[in-house]
Structure 1
Amino acid sequence: MLTVRQALDFLMGAVRPITATETISTLAANGRVLAADQRSLLDVPPADNTQMDGYAVRAADCASGDALLPIAQRIPAGHVGAELTPGSAARIFTGALIPPGADAVVMQEQCELVTGEGGDRVRIKHAPQSGDWIRLRGEDIEAGSVILPAGTRLRAQELGLAASVGLAELPVLRRPRVAVFFTGDELAMPGEPLKPGAIYNSNRYTLRGLLENLGCEITDYGIVPDTLAATRDTLRAAAREHDLIITSGGVSVGEEDHIRPAVEAEGRLNMWQIAVKPGKPLAFGEVRRGQGDEDAAFFLGLPGNPVSSFVTFLLFVRPFVLKLAGAASAEPQSFLLRADFDWAKPDRRNEFLRVRVNAEGGLDLFTNQGSGVLTSTVWADGLIDVAPGQPIARGDMLRFIPFNQMLYPT
């Protein structure tokens, strides 16, 4: 069996990223992947402006630290002031452009308004330095600079940044087209009565939700009968219009497990079984799109046990789909956190245990780590990566991978 690292490296090396592109409104680009570098159309800020409400002055006029200056003008945000004459001040508000001639802003808390018959004046009770509280033109972004590189998966903040420099449209890669189906005569759908020996098909809901989070276009073929012929028919149909086929169940070696022979008949199987717990029976291969056609859809077969399916999706399918989609980054962030539990029964495989962060910043372990216990995935905040044969003692520092890093990719 391959190690987790070997399997992941193999999968990532096999991906052929999507290259087809389209141009869409920036408003509609949330979750999409940029197809090309995006450059700013302007300097940000576009001109020198004030960071504070206060008074724009010439620093040399206030060197005494107690200057009394006439207020020559008032400059709200969105308005352009006149040139500041020597020995005067301009009342100015956050975001307003610095008038020509001024080289500093004194915040209003360091000033005192003095009214009189000769007009309003301001006492500057601070000796400013040239440049104080001024945002310089282009100090954040220079016109023509790359603000978002190709391969960026766009979030709310990237959309805001693109809009801030005037980008109304963005070139993005086509969404991955993913087909899913589920095998097992024991499966029933919620809302149907359960026959003896039947179970509800929870994996359909879990996997579809995970794929939706990754921005995929999904075709759901539902539950496929447990026969070799039906499995082959569905694989052929799914391969024609999709980049990736994902199945759940039927990947073991029993007489009723038809996924492996079906994939081998319709294409090829490149990887089978990984030294991981939960989730050893993970299959990877390709399904031909036609007789003699070298073009093929990727295939990933997940275990049928719901936790095994969930964990193997996060560890292997998620990075595969992100790279398929053209994303530059696919590895989730992880953190070292303290174990507040003991685990004295290590497995010979690489284990990924469900844990939760407690109020003291340590990790608590879900008591039942069985591969069918879906409640553990709801209770937990993430997974810990436990090396083969590694026991855990209270106080050990463990690699913790939060679910929010894997369920909602950055």
Structure 2
Amino acid sequence: MTTASSSKDQLHDIVSCLSDYDPKAVPVSQAQDIIRQFVQPVNAIEKLAIRQALGRVLAAPVISGINVPAHDNSAMDGYALQGNDLPHQGHRTLSVIGTAYAGRAYQGTVNAGECVRIMTGAVMPDNCDTVIPQELTLQATELEVTIPSGKLRSGDNRRLKGEDLACGNVAISEGKVLKPADLGLLASLGIAEVAVHRRLRVAFFSTGDELRSLGETLDSGCVYDSNRYTIYGMLTRLGCDIVDMGVIKDDPDALEAAFRSAAENADAIITSGGVSVGAADYTKQIMGTLGDVAFWTIGMRPGRPMAFGKIRSNGKSAYLFGLPGNPVAVMVTFYFFARQALLHMMGATATEPLLVTAVSRTAIRKRPGRTEYQRGIATMNGQGQLEVHVTGSQGSGILRSMSEANCMIVLSHDQSDVMPDSLVQILLFEGLI
């Protein structure tokens, strides 16, 4: 959907600079780096009311126009006083001369030997710099309160003006994917609308004569197309505008028409199937004819075959992610390659997947020389330690295992077999899938 101008670099220019580049044996990290260098953000911005901005990418930094809080205020219910009135030993009795409420400040001046009853969030009275919580007082009446020594220091329990956010400072940085807390922060600053990047438009389809859509008769040797539904779910979670183009048969005219339509109407294209070695269709040929596309055999399991690049049609272009056909391989390659690239296209600040350490309760066979992603179930044991075990058979066609799993066990390129009770890295699905 973007004009077919050249990217920051051509794909072949990027890979030509890599001395160890071999398209038939691409390490995961190298493929991720190439994609990161090649993909460029889509530059289109719109303004939205903050209630509509959840999950959108902030297009410009938000600068606070006020101090938060606007005044020094009390962090709790108690008595506001001068820090010099705190007793060094024994105790001291102060006169209570009034009350300060949240939203209704005490208007008088507090002198030595006096204090003001104060509620959480109330503006600190003049001359007061300390709050003693009510539960720390020895005795309190409407007229007097007795304060012990050694319970607090001067300045305690006072929230300073601008402590949360000072006027003129950045409240939320550009590139942030807005979360519920961000909406609250924007509202606290009196900001009603923000500039965000427009939604990314992504077209996707599956290829293969053996695929059937839901509702169609399942002939011998055919399977229902599950990949479009997992891709639909993953793109929806990312907040993309999506174009489901269905199942495209292994027909050169139909495939070319689908690719051209997608390139003319979307920012990115995701396909499943048709990129493996010896595929009996025309997908790879058409991808290569329409644009700058690399075909990789990636050192990973599952998901070795993958196509990546940019295709063009009638002055428009779209980034292409040609994923494998096996259901689990589709999800793995999407999350470890396409997802980060799509976020970058949205203008989101780059963040690495957050891996955490867990104890593997099962042995895992692993051959050095490739990155492996095993489906796992992580739990917390009685000692408060995170542990994980694999879901069973790890075949790339067993989609049920992804449904059962709550994490991915990430085994690095050089790693070998994992023994029981060894530490492994896992990526939790919550918030991701």
TM-score normalised by structure 2 residue count? 0.88
**RMSD (Å) for aligned C-alpha atoms:** 1.9
Query: How do 1:123-162 residues align onto structure 2 when only pairs under 5 Å count?
Result: 123-126=146-149, 128-162=152-186
Partner of 2:210: 186
C-alpha spacing 1:60/1:389, structure 2 compared with 1 (3 Å): closer
Partner of 1:72: 97
Partner of 1:334: 355
C-alpha spacing 1:385/1:131, structure 2 compared with 1 (3 Å): same
Query: How do 1:309-388 residues align onto structure 2 when only pairs under 5 Å count?
Result: 309-344=330-365, 346=367, 349-360=370-381, 361-386=386-411, 387=413
Counterpart code for 1:120: L
Partner of 2:106: 81
State the Cα distance separating 1:65 from its structure 2 match.
4.9
Partner of 1:9: 33
Where structure 1 has 5 or more consecutive residues not aligned to the other structure, the ranges are: none
What's the secondary structure of 1:123's corresponding residue?
A: strand
Q: What do the CA deviations read for 1:93-139 (whole angstroms, capped 9, x no partner)?
A: 00000111222111101225555xxx632223346532121111112
Partner of 1:166: 190
State the Cα distance separating 1:61 from its structure 2 match.
3.4
Aligned pairs, how many? 401
Q: What do the CA deviations read for 1:52-83 (whole angstroms, capped 9, x no partner)?
A: 10111123334365333332111111111113
- Residues 251 and 257 in structure 1, CA contact (< 8 A), matched pair in contact too: no
Partner of 2:300: 276
Q: Distance in 1 between matches of 2:147 and 2:69?
A: 27
Counterpart code for 1:284: F
Matched, 1:196 2:220: yes
State the Cα distance separating 1:31 from its structure 2 match.
0.8
State the Cα distance separating 1:239 from its structure 2 match.
0.7
What's the secondary structure of 1:275's corresponding residue?
A: strand
Q: Distance in 1 between matches of 2:282 and 2:369?
A: 28
Q: Distance in 2 between matches of 1:173 and 1:96?
A: 39
What's the secondary structure of 1:390's corresponding residue?
A: coil
Q: Distance in 2 between matches of 1:247 and 1:373?
A: 19
Where structure 2 has 5 or more consecutive residues not aligned to the other structure, the ranges are: 1-24
- Residues 332 and 405 in structure 1, CA contact (< 8 A), matched pair in contact too: no
Counterpart code for 1:335: V
Q: Distance in 1 between matches of 2:298 and 2:86?
A: 73
Counterpart code for 2:223: I
Partner of 1:223: 247
State the Cα distance separating 1:256 from its structure 2 match.
2.9
Partner of 1:298: 319
Q: What do the CA deviations read for 1:201-254 (whole angstroms, capped 9, x no partner)?
A: 111110011011111110111111221110100111111121101111122244
Of the candidates 210, 225, 230, which is equivalent to residue 206 of structure 1?
230
Q: Distance in 2 between matches of 1:239 and 1:323?
A: 19
Q: Distance in 1 between matches of 2:403 and 2:387?
A: 18
Q: Distance in 2 between matches of 1:381 and 1:114?
A: 54
Q: Distance in 2 between matches of 1:346 and 1:88?
A: 75
Partner of 1:122: 145
Partner of 2:8: none
Q: Distance in 1 between matches of 2:115 and 2:279?
A: 88
Q: Distance in 2 between matches of 1:252 and 1:273?
A: 8
Moved over 4 A (4+): 112-115
- Residues 200 and 267 in structure 2, CA contact (< 8 A), matched pair in contact too: yes
State the Cα distance separating 1:389 from its structure 2 match.
6.7
State the Cα distance separating 1:163 from its structure 2 match.
1.8
- Residues 356 and 425 in structure 2, CA contact (< 8 A), matched pair in contact too: yes
Partner of 2:291: 267
- Residues 284 and 300 in structure 1, CA contact (< 8 A), matched pair in contact too: yes
- Residues 140 and 146 in structure 2, CA contact (< 8 A), matched pair in contact too: yes
Percent identity over the alignment? 38
Of the candidates 74, 80, 84, which is equivalent to residue 60 of structure 1?
84
C-alpha spacing 1:398/1:12, structure 2 compared with 1 (3 Å): same
State the Cα distance separating 1:326 from its structure 2 match.
0.9
TM-score normalised by structure 1 residue count? 0.92
What's the secondary structure of 2:60's corresponding residue?
A: coil
C-alpha spacing 1:402/1:286, structure 2 compared with 1 (3 Å): same
Q: Distance in 2 between matches of 1:133 and 1:396?
A: 46
Q: Which is further off, 324-333 or 262-271?
A: 262-271
Of the candidates 306, 310, 329, which is equivalent to residue 286 of structure 1?
310
State the Cα distance separating 1:21 from its structure 2 match.
0.8
C-alpha spacing 1:224/1:347, structure 2 compared with 1 (3 Å): farther
What's the secondary structure of 2:397's corresponding residue?
A: coil
Q: Distance in 2 between matches of 1:34 and 1:16?
A: 16
State the Cα distance separating 1:164 from its structure 2 match.
1.7
Q: Distance in 2 between matches of 1:255 and 1:121?
A: 88
What's the secondary structure of 1:274's corresponding residue?
A: strand
- Residues 84 and 90 in structure 1, CA contact (< 8 A), matched pair in contact too: no
C-alpha spacing 1:126/1:191, structure 2 compared with 1 (3 Å): farther
Q: Distance in 1 between matches of 2:394 and 2:78?
A: 61
Q: What do the CA deviations read for 1:278-308 (whole angstroms, capped 9, x no partner)?
A: 1111101211131xx4x52111111111001
Q: Distance in 1 between matches of 2:110 and 2:173?
A: 45
Q: Distance in 2 between matches of 1:388 and 1:129?
A: 55
Of the candidates 384, 408, 417, which is equivalent to residue 391 of structure 1?
417
State the Cα distance separating 1:143 from its structure 2 match.
0.5
